[in-house]
């Protein structure tokens, strides 16, 4: 008599009764909110399909790259493609390394299928499609397709790489990444200072966190050092920076940094802003890394000592690999927050995407038309897509790494 | 025994491998390095400022500010120091009003995300997922340029109910008008409020000791209201309503706030509340499931379960991360440069633009924010310590 009872499949009416009308006050809420939502959706549809996107269409290039020299405009395109390739190769290498690690530990490893990837990155793909709808020439479409297809081809082609190739995979990613930067710096009139638009937000965020990482690592190790002087110096720096707003550091970088350097060493505006961001970010990266260091059980350190390893080898070979793996999700979170914070550079005179969204409203064809809602919403969508995708990926990683599980 | 100490004595390594010596050497090296960097930067600062004819002291604080601060007694002829102080007051005005608002909004949305009503939960999730993934500065600019500047123009304010005056320049509402005896009235109310705290504690103790209903809200609130009403009439009605009036292109009376102030307040509250909502949701979910099952077993209603079982326990988990959100909010008030609301960063920024020395002004700004942040985290950490369970 082992009959298993299975719940009958709920009908739509039953589902609605259970989830929308289970109490009188919930019914009331549902009705009120339902009416409100319907009205909102109606308004949104009317606005989305009723307005003229000319201001975006005409200024799309300005939004993306600011006043980058137009006779060298192919450079940002090439940079984007290289960036896509770097991303594809990096993801492939990470996947290969995870697969080898899983095989070593006799664990199952499921590689994501193209369908899963589309489901994970749909906001990004939808954004690209929407952007391409605004373009007037064929070049952006060619660029977007080569970026996505090139990156995907590299990912699916290279993720089966043997163990010996993993090291070269990382090396190639690094080279491609550096090349992506070099293309829009070296040989460009004005170098870094020619940057503008969304490009400056993305590249300041990436360069900021990459350059800040080693400093943050040192600060975190310094904060946990057994040498009191080193510890106090690190703690003072970290707590000082974390106590002040980023904008004060940016003001310092732009208006006061020049006073602290001899004339020959004074950098241009973009580098000044980057220095301020790196100083700021190093303190936050240090706190993230410290979290990871604290997550490594003490027995690991003692095991290193028992093996007779010197302190720096114990740190490098035993503590850091475990600590840094645990910090990946928090590091993504920190990157998202920096990505959003890069908008602050327009307050100190950089021509970033937010500044573009404001100034296009003063163009003679659009002045007085109050299109701020459209241009700012467009800039908002650009940020939202990257930020949302990354935060979802961070959550996925967190689950996969089993961090925060009790 | 002696042989062991002799052995250690003999095998003591040479000084370049002696850990005790190395530790001291490393620390001395760190100090020297830090000092060298500071001396180098300081040296450059002295040389460069001298070359540009800028003095390094803080005498410039006595110079005229050069700009008016709207809705304040500070004008262009006041000193920079007075301007900076007014800037801090304006920063404080954003913080004092904003923190309670964002807490309420954040808790409501965080609880709503776990609602049994599917529509409410999804709507709360939509709000959180949209807002927290957009840069705060963008939200500020959006609110300012679209919502606040979309209000009626400065010279044609709307006045709903006759109680408010709303334009894109100033938003004003009803407030008190003080006459003689107002000071005495507020003193009486303050004393009553302190007494009410004691009554509250007393009633709680009585309730715990005897089990009779505490009615502490009724007792303490009643005390304050009673004292307030008596003082009001005894002192000869020291307060009266003041309604904002628009006349001669100026709004007078009532309580007034600049349009920029409301842009900042609205945007930052909405942004920070989305982060607080996530913290609240996570904290509620972190409360052991048995607790809410126990509440259900006791037949508590949904509200009672939240009020007496889940939220008090979730609060302990939520307080430290919420403190850090409060600090983020405070630091984000510096984004007011974007909408020209005269808080301290904008005042300093304008002074730098007027040719005042940047290094000192930025130093003052940083130290000010540091003190501000440390004060907030100090106070809130005391609150946190009192809330945590005392274990062991």
| Closest-CA distance of chain B to residue A200, Å | 15
Chain-wide mean pLDDT for chain B? 86
Task: Return the residue of B nearest to A344 by Cα.
Answer: B137
Here the ipTM equals 0.89
Whether B286 contacts B314, CB under 8 Å = yes
Whether B181 contacts B235, CB under 8 Å = yes
Per-residue model confidence as pLDDT tens digits over B154-193: 777 777 777 788 888 888 888 877 777 778 888 888 999 9
Q: Do B370 and A387 touch (CB under 8 A)?
A: no
> Which among A240, A263, A384 has the least Cβ separation from residue B134?
A384
Tell me the three-class secondary structure of chain B, residue by residue. CHHHHHHHHHHCCCHHHCHHHHHHHHHHHHHHHHHHHHHHHHHHHHHHHHHHCCCCCCHHHHCECCCCCCCCCCCCCCEHHHHHHHHHHHHHHHHHHHHHHHHHHHHHHHHHCCCCCHHHHHHHHHHHHHHCCCCHHHHHHHHHHHHHCCCCCCCCCECHHHCCEECCCEEEECEEEECCCHHHHHHHHHHHHHHHHHHHHHHHHHHHHHCCCCCHHHHHHHHHHHHHHHHHHHCCCCEEEECCEEECCEEECCEEEEHHHHHHHHHHHHHHHHHHHHHHHHHHHHCCHHHHHHHHHCCCCHHHHHHHHHHHHHHHHHHHHHHHHHHHHHHHHHHHHHHCCCCHHHHHHHHHHCCCCHHHHHHHHHHHHHHHHHHHHHHHHHHHHHHCCCCC
> Which among A33, A252, A343 has the least Cβ separation from residue B135?
A343
A340 and chain B in contact, CB less than 8 A: yes
Both tokens of B246, joined, read: 């628009």
> Which among B45, B141, B374 has the least Cβ separation from residue A354?
B141
Q: Do A377 and B142 touch (CB under 8 A)?
A: yes
Find the largest Cα–Cα distance for chain B.
100
pLDDT at residue B116 in the model: 83
| Closest-CA distance of chain A to residue B187, Å | 36
> Which among A255, A263, A370 has the least Cβ separation from residue B362?
A255
Residues 6+ apart with CB under 8 A from B23: A226, A227
CA distances from A38 to A25, A301, B115, B378 (A): 20, 59, 20, 46
Contacts of A262 in chain B (CB under 8 A): 44, 47-48
Closest by alpha carbon to A237, among A274, A290, A201? Answer: A290
CA–CA separation, B250 and B9 (whole Å)? 88
**Residue A352 in 3-state DSSP?**
strand
The rounded percent of chain A whose pLDDT value lies above 70 is 97
Average pLDDT over residues A33-51: 89
CA–CA separation, A194 and A69 (whole Å)? 7
Per-residue model confidence as pLDDT tens digits over A313-345: 888 889 998 888 888 888 999 999 999 999 999
When computed from its CA atoms, the radius of gyration of chain B, rounded to whole angstroms, is 29
CA distances from A132 to A303, B166, B185, B392 (A): 56, 42, 67, 62
Whether B252 contacts B112, CB under 8 Å = no
Q: Do A22 and B331 touch (CB under 8 A)?
A: no
Query: Would you call B22 exposed, middle or buried from its count of C-beta atoms within 10 A (0-12, 13-18, 19+)?
Result: middle
What is the β-pairing status of strands B255-258 and B250-252? unpaired
Closest by alpha carbon to A66, among A195, A189, A169, A191? Answer: A195
Both tokens of B103, joined, read: 């807490």
Residues 6+ apart with CB under 8 A from A259: B44, B45, B48, B49, B358, B359
pLDDT at residue A137 in the model: 84
A405 and chain B in contact, CB less than 8 A: no
pLDDT at residue B168 in the model: 82
pLDDT at residue A4 in the model: 64
Per-residue model confidence as pLDDT tens digits over A133-164: 888 888 888 888 999 999 999 998 888 888 88
CA–CA separation, B191 and B188 (whole Å)? 5
Q: Do B359 and A259 touch (CB under 8 A)?
A: yes
> Which among B45, B133, B374 has the least Cβ separation from residue A243?
B374
Task: Return the residue of A nearest to B118 by Cα.
Answer: A19
Q: Do B137 and A347 touch (CB under 8 A)?
A: yes
Token pair 């919403």: residue: A377
CA–CA separation, A216 and A289 (whole Å)? 8
Q: Which fold has domain B98-174+243-316?
A: MetI-like fold (1.10.3720)
CA distances from B188 to A306, A404, B223 (A): 70, 51, 11
pLDDT at residue A396 in the model: 86
Specify the higher pLDDT residue, B327 or B71: B327
> Which among B44, B135, B373 has the least Cβ separation from residue A261?
B44
pLDDT at residue A45 in the model: 92
Q: Do A262 and B44 touch (CB under 8 A)?
A: yes
Both tokens of B76, joined, read: 């262009």
Contacts of A23 in chain B (CB under 8 A): 302
Would you say residue B47 has pLDDT above 50? yes
Chain-wide mean pLDDT for chain A? 87
Reading phi first (left if > 0) and then psi (alpha if -120 to 50, else beta), residue B331 is in alpha
Task: Return the residue of B nearest to A259 by Cα.
Answer: B45
Q: Where are the domains of chain A?
A: 55-194, 197-406
Average pLDDT over residues A86-108: 87
Count CA atoms closer than 13 A to B360's CA, side-chain side.
Answer: 17
Q: Which fold has domain A197-406?
A: MetI-like fold (1.10.3720)
pLDDT at residue A406 in the model: 36
| Closest-CA distance of chain A to residue B92, Å | 15
Strand partners for B172? B165, B256
Q: Do B134 and A341 touch (CB under 8 A)?
A: no
Would you say residue B122 has pLDDT above 70? yes
pLDDT band (50, 70, 90) for residue A251: very high
Please list, residue by residue across A281-311, b when 16 or more beta carbons sit within 10 angstroms of its beta carbon and e when fewer do.
bbbbbbbbbbbbbeebeeeebeebeeeebee
> Which among B34, B120, B366 has the least Cβ separation from residue A248?
B366
pLDDT band (50, 70, 90) for residue B275: very high
Closest by alpha carbon to B66, among B335, B338, B349, B339? Answer: B349
pLDDT at residue A201 in the model: 92
Whether B99 contacts B376, CB under 8 Å = no
Task: Return the residue of A nearest to B365 by Cα.
Answer: A248
Q: Do B23 and A343 touch (CB under 8 A)?
A: no
Count CA atoms closer than 13 A to A109's CA, side-chain side.
Answer: 16
Whether A356 contacts A66, CB under 8 Å = yes
Per-residue model confidence as pLDDT tens digits over A187-202: 777 777 778 889 899 9
Would you say residue B6 has pLDDT above 70? no
Whether A343 contacts A354, CB under 8 Å = yes
Per-residue model confidence as pLDDT tens digits over A274-316: 999 999 999 999 999 998 998 888 899 899 989 988 888 888 8
Whether B141 contacts B266, CB under 8 Å = no
Q: Where are the domains of chain B?
A: 2-52, 98-174+243-316
CA–CA separation, B144 and B186 (whole Å)? 36
| Closest-CA distance of chain B to residue A376, Å | 6
CA–CA separation, A76 and A79 (whole Å)? 5
Both tokens of A384, joined, read: 């939202």
What is the β-pairing status of strands B165-166 and B170-173? antiparallel
Average pLDDT over residues A365-382: 89
Residue B75: how many other CB atoms lie within 10 Å: 14
CA–CA separation, B71 and B350 (whole Å)? 18
Count CA atoms closer than 13 A to A98's CA, side-chain side.
Answer: 16
Residue A167: how many other CB atoms lie within 10 Å: 11
Contacts across the A-B interface (CB distance below 8 Å): 157
Closest by alpha carbon to A53, among A360, A402, A295? Answer: A360
> Which among A248, A347, A370 has the least Cβ separation from residue B362?
A248
Interface test with A, best of B121, B137, B282 (most A CBs within 10 A): B137
Residues 6+ apart with CB under 8 A from B178: B238, B239
Per-residue model confidence as pLDDT tens digits over A258-276: 888 888 888 888 889 999 9
Q: Do B129 and A388 touch (CB under 8 A)?
A: yes
List all residues of chain A from 343 to 382 with a beta carbon under 8 Å from chain B. Answer: 343-344, 346-347, 354, 357-358, 370, 372-373, 376-377, 379-380
Contacts of B302 in chain A (CB under 8 A): 23
């Amino acid at each position: 008599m082992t009959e298993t009872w299975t719940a009958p499949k709920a009908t739509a009416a039953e589902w609605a009764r259970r989830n929308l009308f289970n109490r009188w006050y919930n019914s009331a809420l549902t009705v009120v909110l339902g009416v409100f939502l319907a009205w909102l959706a109606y308004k949104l549809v009317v606005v989305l399909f009723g307005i003229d996107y000319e201001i975006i269409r005409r200024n799309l290039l300005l939004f993306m790259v600011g006043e980058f020299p137009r006779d060298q405009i192919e450079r940002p395109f090439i940079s984007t493609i290289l960036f896509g390739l770097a991303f594809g190769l990096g993801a492939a290498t990470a996947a290969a390394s995870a697969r080898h690690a899983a095989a070593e530990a006799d664990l199952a490893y499921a590689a994501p299928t193209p369908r899963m990837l589309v489901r994970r990155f749909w906001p990004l793909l939808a954004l690209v499609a929407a952007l391409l709808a605004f373009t007037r020439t064929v070049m952006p479409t060619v660029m977007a397709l080569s970026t996505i297809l090139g990156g995907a081809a590299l990912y699916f082609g290279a993720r089966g790489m043997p163990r010996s190739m993993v090291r070269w995979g990382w090396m190639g990613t690094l080279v491609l990444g550096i090349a992506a930067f070099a293309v829009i710096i070296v040989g460009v009139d004005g170098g870094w200072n020619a940057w503008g638009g969304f490009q400056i937000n993305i590249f300041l965020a990436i360069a900021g966190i990459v350059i800040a990482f080693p400093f943050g690592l040192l600060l975190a190790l310094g904060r946990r050092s057994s040498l009191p002087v080193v510890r106090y110096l690190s703690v003072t720096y970290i707590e000082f920076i974390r106590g002040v707003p980023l904008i004060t550091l940016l003001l310092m970088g732009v208006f006061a940094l020049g006073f602290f350097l001899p004339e020959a060493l004074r950098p241009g505006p973009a580098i000044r802003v980057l220095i301020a961001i790196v100083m700021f970010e190093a303190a936050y990266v240090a706190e993230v890394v410290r979290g990871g260091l604290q997550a490594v059980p003490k027995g690991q350190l003692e095991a290193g000592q028992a093996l007779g390893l010197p302190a720096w080898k114990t740190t490098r070979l035993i503590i850091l690999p475990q600590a840094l793996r645990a910090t990946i999700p928090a590091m993504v979170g920190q990157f998202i927050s920096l990505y959003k914070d890069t908008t602050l550079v327009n307050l100190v005179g950089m021509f970033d995407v937010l500044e573009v969204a404001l100034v296009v409203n003063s163009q003679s064809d659009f002045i007085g038309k109050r299109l701020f809602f459209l241009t700012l919403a467009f800039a908002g969508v650009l940020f939202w897509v990257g930020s949302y995708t990354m935060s979802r990926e961070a959550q996925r990683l967190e689950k996969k790494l089993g961090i925060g599980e009790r | 025994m002696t042989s062991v100490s002799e052995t250690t004595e003999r095998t003591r390594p040479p000084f370049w491998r002696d850990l005790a010596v190395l530790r001291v050497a490393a620390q001395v090296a760190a100090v020297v390095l830090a000092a060298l960097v500071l001396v180098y930067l300081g040296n450059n600062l002295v040389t460069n400022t001298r070359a540009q004819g800028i003095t390094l002291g803080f005498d410039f604080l006595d110079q005229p500010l050069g700009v008016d601060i709207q809705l304040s007694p500070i004008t262009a002829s006041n000193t920079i120091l007075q301007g900076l102080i007014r800037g801090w007051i304006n920063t404080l005005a954003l913080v004092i009003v904003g923190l309670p608002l964002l807490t309420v909004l954040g808790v409501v949305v965080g609880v709503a995300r776990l609602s049994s009503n599917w529509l409410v939960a999804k709507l709360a999730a939509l709000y959180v997922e949209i807002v927290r993934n957009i840069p705060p500065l963008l939200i500020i600019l959006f609110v300012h340029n679209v919502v606040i500047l979309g209000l009626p123009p400065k010279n044609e304010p709307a006045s709903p109910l006759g109680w408010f005056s709303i334009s894109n320049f100033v938003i004003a509402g009803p407030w008190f008008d003080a006459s003689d005896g107002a000071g005495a009235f507020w003193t009486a109310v303050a004393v009553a409020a302190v007494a009410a705290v004691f009554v509250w504690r007393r009633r709680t103790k009585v309730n715990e000791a005897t089990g009779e209903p505490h009615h502490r809200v009724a007792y303490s609130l009643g005390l304050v209201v009673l004292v307030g009403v008596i003082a009001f009439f005894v002192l000869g009605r020291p307060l009266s309503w003041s309604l904002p009036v628009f006349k001669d292109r100026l709004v007078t009376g009532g309580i007034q706030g600049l349009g920029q102030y409301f842009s900042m307040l609205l945007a930052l509250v909405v942004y920070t509340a989305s982060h607080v909502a996530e913290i609240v949701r996570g904290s509620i979910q972190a409360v052991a499931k048995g607790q809410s099952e126990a509440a259900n077993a006791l037949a508590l209603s949904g509200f009672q379960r939240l009020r007496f079982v889940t939220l008090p326990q979730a609060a302990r988990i939520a307080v430290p991360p919420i403190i850090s959100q409060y600090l983020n909010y405070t630091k984000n008030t510096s984004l007011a440069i974007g909408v020209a609301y005269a808080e301290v960063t904008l005042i300093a920024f304008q002074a730098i633009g007027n040719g005042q020395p940047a290094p000192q002004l930025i130093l003052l700004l940083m130290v000010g924010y540091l003190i501000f942040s440390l004060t907030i985290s100090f106070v809130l950490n005391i609150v946190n310590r009192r809330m945590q369970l005392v274990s062991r």
